[in-house]
Amino acid sequence: MSNPETAIRDIYGRTLATRKPWQTLCIVLPMVLLSFMILNRGITIQSDPLQLISLVITYLFINLLFVLMVHSGKIDRYRAILFVTYAVCFVISFIPHLMETRGSNTFTSADILQGKIPFCHIVVPMTLIPAVLKRTIIFPGSMLEGFASIASMLVLWMGVTLALGKGFCSWGCFYGGLEDGFSRLARKPLLKKINPKWRNLSFAVLLGVVLTSIATLSPTYCTWLCPFKTVTEFEKVSSVLVLVQTIIFVTLFLGLVVVLPLLTKKRTQCSFLCPFGAMQSLTNKINAFEIRIDKDKCTQCKVCIGICPTFSIDEDDLEQGKANLTCTKCAKCISHCPRQAISMEIKGVDTLCNEREKVFSGRTLIFLYPAFILLMTMGGGMIRDAIHRILLLLTTGKLIQ
């Protein structure tokens, strides 16, 4: 029996099941060992004590979140803390890195031709199809070497798509956490009535940027629409054309990543604009996991419809008993369903109702391991580097070496 004073409660104040400490320990132990190998890679700590301190802080922080996630079952809460931290640390780490390697976070036409632009996953749909149809790699990044080469990002994307599908958008994307963070700042949404059909816009954007990229053999989303240019790298404003592009980037960033998420508590850029997210929705059938709704337990209260940050559950989905193809597997609906009717399941495997009474089912744990490893692999190095740069700033007054 849990002590009522210390018991973990859900958002409705009900006591949640928690694991016994030894059970939690057994489940997290492989992650504790694995995380040491993943986080420790590629750094020489002997010559730099600040590297050692940043590694230890990152290691403890990430493992603490995993222990809390497994022990309490509050997947979305601890995922969000790590996901938002990862996105903020990405910005803190990425811009100084560009300063060190390229001398600036602005780029020129010469930098593009010399492949000095890091490759990012959003550009995958604009790269793959022209590469197949026209035998041309249109993105001006480095194919095999350097920071975020095309080859390494493509391999990562294929692995993640097979393992998690659209889950990449809540467990791997280094931009998504910014929006996730802004969408959680307000207590209640000020704007509630948004037609979920707007999510189809991202599919239109995907089609548009693929067609225009094939026609122009250039990454048109990067050139014209990417809101994240605002907080990463952008072309020097040297003409009216570049000025117009910069205004579009900043407007989309402020509108879809900051203001609308604050007003709606939704991830509006992910839902309405991102062509990579749309592509992940279309390829989502390949992977093994899905969010399922137990129609016998569901009372049609529609809490999940309101709480889902990506408009991935509507009345039709409740009828069908599963989230729609835009679901990012963030697990927020699982935490908020007052009937515990929603669960992470393996496609083709029947739901075992009695499993739901536990902290979370074995199927959830099978999902959680690759998902958390992805988040740690992509985010761990950036969190460590950001902490290192902050320590550097505090001790030497410099962010770059």
- Interface positions with ligand SF4 (CB under 6 A): 291, 293, 298-304, 308, 310, 312-313, 318, 323, 327-333, 337, 339, 341-342
Say which residue the tokens 């225009």 belong to: 212
Would you state the structure tokens that stand for residue 136, as one six-digit string?
């041309």
**Measured from the CB of residue 194, what is the shortest distance to ligand SF4 in angstroms?**
14
Say which residue the tokens 């993640």 belong to: 160
Cα(196)–Cα(185) distance, integer angstroms: 22
| 23 or 299: CB nearest ligand SF4 | 299
Is the distance from CB of 317 to CB of 324 less than 8 angstroms? yes
| 91 or 303: CB nearest ligand SF4 | 303
Our CA angle for 229, 236, 135, nearest 5°, is 65
SS3 91: helix
**Measured from the CB of residue 86, what is the shortest distance to ligand SF4 in angstroms?**
17
Is the distance from CB of 98 to CB of 116 less than 8 angstroms? no
**Measured from the CB of residue 332, what is the shortest distance to ligand SF4 in angstroms?**
4
| 92 or 178: CB nearest ligand SF4 | 178
Would you state the structure tokens that stand for residue 190, as one six-digit string?
């000020």
| 114 or 299: CB nearest ligand SF4 | 299
**Measured from the CB of residue 104, what is the shortest distance to ligand SF4 in angstroms?**
37
**Amino acid (1-letter code) at residue 303:** V
**Measured from the CB of residue 322, what is the shortest distance to ligand SF4 in angstroms?**
9
| 130 or 309: CB nearest ligand SF4 | 309
**Amino acid (1-letter code) at residue 270:** C
Residue 233 Rama label (left phi>0; alpha psi -120 to 50; beta): beta
**Measured from the CB of residue 257, what is the shortest distance to ligand SF4 in angstroms?**
17
**Amino acid (1-letter code) at residue 327:** C
| 341 or 382: CB nearest ligand SF4 | 341
Q: How many CA atoms lie within 13 A of 17 on its CB side?
A: 12
Q: Identify which of 394, 203, 196 has the alpha carbon closest to the alpha carbon of residue 313.
A: 196
Exposure of 326 by Cβ count < 10 A (0-12 exposed, 13-18 middle, 19+ buried)? buried
Cα(121)–Cα(210) distance, integer angstroms: 14
| 293 or 386: CB nearest ligand SF4 | 293
**Measured from the CB of residue 83, what is the shortest distance to ligand SF4 in angstroms?**
12
